[in-house]
Amino acid sequence: HHPSLTRNKVGYTRRDYEGRVSTLCAGCGHDSISAAIVEACWELDIEPHRVAKLSGIGCSSKTPDYFLGASHGFNTVHGRMPSVLTGASLANRDLLYLGVSGDGDSASIGLGQFANAMRRGVCMAYIVENNGVYGLTKGQFSATADRGSKSKKGVVNSDSPVDLVALALQLGATYVARSFSGDKAQLVPLIKGAMSHGGAAFVDVISPCVTFNNHAGSTKSYDYIRQHNDAVSRIDFITPRSEITTEYAPGELVEVRQHDGSLLRLRKLHSDYNPTDRNAAMNYMQTHQARGEVVTGLLYVDPL
Ligand code: SF4
């Protein structure tokens, strides 16, 4: 049998968790996240009809069309996915709620919605596909764009970025993780954890926009992330332009060369990292961030 035809405990193949064919740009990080969601749901033996997937507006928010074709879905208005999801979850508590959003959707127009969903402990897996750019409207800076980074047109961003992981930690989310779209070995377990969590679970996934924000100087580019990722031992990523496999150990710094020549530096959590201390998570993250490193892995989970 082809692996996609192997049946899980509830009798479904991976194909049963797929959706329509993606219309995103070839090489977009978001398609890898859709594939990770398919894999996570198959491995968790979740029947597709038990999932409700909700999104807002943006390239990321188009992706629920590309996975779990047999689940319930609602494509809401810009930045309003969390409140529509909250309402749906109050009406039907039997479904598993998966919110898919982007940095424009959740860190700009929907920042208040994001904050209150985390604060209220809405039972959901909240995935942000973070590329620091408005891809759908052709490359404006989003609220997570790095200060000093350059747009494709050469404009320099002078604003400070919003860090959704730091916010989620501060606001009381009970499961907080960061990963990279090209690191399936790390991303699938983190999504499985979020979907099984039973509280407000937030996963920030750095997901390069190959069309508008994959150049040097951007911490949301493939190169940067490949250089800074840690916590799982390898990254495999295939772009239309290149094929990259990097092996590294937990705690290791991985540097990724971006299109414009700059480096993205990812550090995976050290193997002895304790994810049950909220303040320690904040300190760990900020210490590494001050060195220009982006920390990936499960940063915090409520031990109770
Ligand atoms: Fe992905 Fe960017 Fe293309 Fe949108 S514009 S589909 S984010 S690569």
pLDDT tens digits along 57-76: 999 999 999 999 999 999 99
Question: How far is Cα 103 from Cα 283, in angstroms, rounded to an integer?
Answer: 23
Which residues share a beta bridge with 295?
Answer: 267
- Phi first, then psi, for residue 255 (nearest 5°) are -105, 135
Domain of 181, CATH number, reads 3.40.50.970
- Distance between Cα 60 and ligand 1 center (Å): 8
Classify residue 264: in a domain, yes or no: no
Classify residue 107: in a domain, yes or no: yes
**Residue listed under structure tokens 């398609």:** 31
Provide the domain limits for residue 107: 3-210+278-301
Classify residue 237: in a domain, yes or no: no
- Distance between Cα 234 and ligand 1 center (Å): 24
Number of domains the chain contains: 1
**Residue listed under structure tokens 């920030």:** 204
Q: Each residue of 154-208: pLDDT tens digit?
A: 889 899 999 999 999 999 999 999 988 888 888 888 898 888 888 999 999 988 8
Classify residue 7: in a domain, yes or no: yes
Which residues share a beta bridge with 134?
Answer: 140
Classify residue 20: in a domain, yes or no: yes
Classify residue 145: in a domain, yes or no: yes
235 lines ligand 1 (CB under 6 A): no
Q: Whose CA is nearest to atom 3 of ligand 1?
A: 25
Classify residue 244: in a domain, yes or no: no
Q: Tell me if 77 sits within 8 A of 85, measured CB to CB.
A: no
| Complex ipTM > 0.90 | yes
Classify residue 187: in a domain, yes or no: yes
30 lines ligand 1 (CB under 6 A): yes
